[in-house]
Amino acid sequence: MPRDRQSQTLRYTQNIQTFLAIINLDCTVKEGVRLWLSVAVMKIFVTLFDLLLDIVPRLF
């Protein structure tokens, strides 16, 4: 294999590896955001439930 062909193949391989790393990072970020949002929503529901437990005994 000629030298320039070898370096071209190496560049293609590096580009593919970089692209796959970016995709992997993107998936990790998406999963992190999804986890953060689910925790935030859960905290909102827990706070609302706690407020409900405080208000209901005062009504009766």
pLDDT in tens, 2-56: 567 788 888 888 888 888 787 777 778 788 888 889 999 999 999 999 888 888 8
What does the alpha-carbon distance between residue 8 and residue 16 come to, in Å, rounded to a whole number?
12
Residue in the structure block whose two tokens are 């796959």:
20
For residues 24-39, b (16+ Cβ closer than 10 Å) or e, as one string? eeeeeeeeeeeeeeee
Per-residue confidence (pLDDT) for residue 15, from 0 to 100: 84
Number of domain units in the chain: 1
In one letter, which amino acid is 57? P
Range of the domain at 20: 2-58
Per-residue confidence (pLDDT) for residue 32, from 0 to 100: 83
- Report helix, strand or coil for 50: helix
What does the alpha-carbon distance between residue 7 and residue 3 come to, in Å, rounded to a whole number?
6
What does the alpha-carbon distance between residue 49 and residue 52 come to, in Å, rounded to a whole number?
5
